[in-house]
Amino acid sequence: MQSSLKKSLYLGLAALSFVSVAAVSTTASAKSYAKAGAYSVLKADATKRNVEATGTNALYTKPGTVKGAKVVASKATMAKLASSKKSADYFRAYGQKTTNRGSVYYRVVTMDGKYRGYVYGGKTADTFAGGVKSAETTTTATTPTKTTGYYLKDVSKNTIWTAPKYTQYKASKVNLYGATSKDAFKVDSALTKTREGSLYYHVTDTKDSSITGYIYAGKGYDASVADNSKQDLGGLVLTPSDAAATTDNSVKVVYRNVNDNNAQVGSTTWITSRNDTKAGQDVAVKGTANATADDVNAAGTSLANYITDQVPAGYALTGTVNTAGVYGNTTYVDVTAAATSQVQFTLGTVDTSAAANATKVTPKLPVIGNVVSGSELNVSNFDSKVLAGAANTAITTSDADFANTIKALGGATYVGTTQYNDGTNSYHFEYTFDGTKFATTNKDAIYGQVLQGVLNAKLVKNTSTNVTTTTNPSWVK
């Protein structure tokens, strides 16, 4: 009986001890949780509530110290988001709760909506700290020197955004209903995505001001690039884009090498800007079949001129371009291997009369003897295409196009960068192309040969404008 009593007492004490420990554990556990206050919506301008993770705190379903809070993104994940190079991994803060311990937790969501929850934000409401900090998702970029005459490269594909994608929460595409490839856009500002570094222009349709927003602009407009087709402008171009090709509105152009069994060396498609043509219909050419004007594409280029412009690199036309074309059909164009001439300069006259003491000026003319390509002769109205033609054929220097193009060089002045001093003033040489004898000097040249040109040099006194404001070819020293 004593044994039974002892056993009962032992079990009773053990049970009591368990209850006591459980009570203590429950009390301690209850005391370890914080209580969150009421939820409040952040009222600051939405664009001022863009934040990025610092990587010091995890993201939770509730304020992290409140009972029942579960991890949405671990501290390690938040660290990855903090160092991310993607705008999608920025956050937008939109609400907050403060615990009874004075800790502020912000309700945040990533720009792509992948992560949403509460993150510790310091001890002061409406001030980002702790696990998040304010973020500038974009930075101001230089507005291009050219602000008008832009077109959408492809209305069906290139998108205008209310803000560059993921730089603002729920940035959306602008409705382009009614916009066409012929609509010109103007640019009024530019910015880059801070993390990616990609450039965006803010554009507005000049025909419909409601169509406005940001579009990816590639490398941006470069004033030093003379050929606008070589501008890298992302979703923009500087000439209107064509519509999608169909058998009713287009002609396929195939280039074939007549010296290689008519092997195809390139192809392209010309698309009319008209909307009333049909397959089998002749392409209108002014002066034929009662046509009062040429059919042209969105850029205003006729089929004949388009064929000439699109000749594959390294090839030249073998004869007169066939101006005839039929919608829905293929036009074959004969070409042959091309050669491109360059220009070598010799010295003409040298005028040093501007110097107070000419004996102290020693002309150094590094341009003389240089062989330069047409692309380096960056002069307005000079078309370097006149230097390219079918290999081993004579350059027709008497051709009107050639003569007029060379005349453009005659008005060009290249400013040398080498500086001279006569003891009182500083000077530089300005070189002017002498085109008076260019055609006759090169009358027997063939494409691929180096043509001979003359530069006359004149010493010019430096001023605050004539040295700093002139853009010169790289070969002028």
| The pair of three-digit structure tokens given for residue 321, joined into one six-digit string | 């371009």
60 and 112 both lie in a single domain: yes
* pLDDT tops 80 at residue 124: yes
Q: Indicate the residue among 277, 309, 338 that finishes a domain.
A: 338
Question: Would you place residue 467 in the very low, low, confident or very high pLDDT band (cuts 50, 70, 90)?
Answer: low
Q: Could you list the residue range(s) of the whole structural domain that residue 281 is in? A: 250-338
Q: What is the pLDDT of residue 471?
A: 55
Whole-angstrom Cα distance, residue 280 to residue 206? Answer: 36
Q: Are 340 and 362 in contact (CB under 8 A)?
A: no
* pLDDT tops 90 at residue 298: no
| The pair of three-digit structure tokens given for residue 175, joined into one six-digit string | 């409705």
Residue 476 lies in a domain: no
Domain total for the chain? 4
Q: Which CATH number is 190's domain given?
A: 2.30.30
105 and 149 both lie in a single domain: no
369 and 358 both lie in a single domain: yes
102 and 164 both lie in a single domain: no
Residue 11 lies in a domain: no
CA distances from 447 to 258, 315, 392, 395 (A): 18, 12, 6, 6
Residue 16 lies in a domain: no
* pLDDT tops 70 at residue 129: yes
Q: What is the pLDDT of residue 475?
A: 67
Whole-angstrom Cα distance, residue 90 to residue 167? Answer: 8
CA distances from 83 to 70, 119, 375 (A): 23, 17, 43
Q: What is the pLDDT of residue 86?
A: 97
Q: What is the pLDDT of residue 119?
A: 98
Q: Are 375 and 420 in contact (CB under 8 A)?
A: no
Greatest mean pLDDT among 140-144, 388-392, 420-424, 425-429 lies in 140-144
* pLDDT tops 80 at residue 418: no
Residue 27 lies in a domain: no
Whole-angstrom Cα distance, residue 86 to residue 372? Answer: 44
Question: Would you place residue 228 in the very low, low, confident or very high pLDDT band (cuts 50, 70, 90)?
Answer: confident
448 and 373 both lie in a single domain: yes
Greatest mean pLDDT among 211-225, 367-381, 402-416, 445-459 lies in 211-225
Arithmetic mean of pLDDT, 52-65: 98
Q: Indicate the residue among 338, 367, 392 that finishes a domain.
A: 338
Residue 403 lies in a domain: yes
Q: What is the pLDDT of residue 21?
A: 39
* pLDDT tops 60 at residue 4: no
**Amino acid occupying residue 245:** A
* pLDDT tops 80 at residue 470: no
**By percentage, how much of the chain surpasses pLDDT 90?**
50
Residue 19 has a CB neighbour count (10 Å cut-off) of 10
Report which of residues 476 and 66 the model is more confident about: 66
297 and 308 both lie in a single domain: yes
Residue 20 lies in a domain: no
φ, ψ (nearest 5 deg) of residue 429: -90, 140
For residue 86, the SS3 value is coil
**pTM confidence score:** 0.58
Q: Indicate the residue among 202, 219, 240 that finishes a domain.
A: 240
129 and 218 both lie in a single domain: no
Indicate the range of 174-188, 216-230, 279-293, 342-356 predicted with least confidence.
342-356
How high is the mean pLDDT of the chain?
85
Q: What is the pLDDT of residue 19?
A: 41
CA distances from 238 to 155, 226, 312, 423 (A): 14, 12, 21, 49
267 and 306 both lie in a single domain: yes
380 and 432 both lie in a single domain: yes
345 and 422 both lie in a single domain: yes
Place of tokens 């691929």: 448
> Which 8-state DSSP code applies to residue 395?
-
Residue 126 lies in a domain: yes
| The pair of three-digit structure tokens given for residue 448, joined into one six-digit string | 């691929």
68 and 166 both lie in a single domain: no
Q: What is the pLDDT of residue 22?
A: 40
Q: What is the pLDDT of residue 333?
A: 94
Residue 191 lies in a domain: yes
**408 Ramachandran zone, left/alpha/beta (phi>0; psi -120 to 50):** alpha
Arithmetic mean of pLDDT, 345-355: 84
Report which of residues 29 and 335 the model is more confident about: 335
45 and 104 both lie in a single domain: yes
Burial of 23 (0-12, 13-18, 19+ CB in 10 A): exposed
* pLDDT tops 70 at residue 312: yes
Cβ-defined contacts of 377-384 (< 8 Å, 24+):
377/343, 377/409, 377/412, 377/473, 378/224, 378/226, 378/471, 378/473, 379/408, 379/409, 379/411, 379/412, 380/408, 381/405, 381/408, 382/408, 382/409, 382/412, 383/408
Q: What is the pLDDT of residue 5?
A: 38
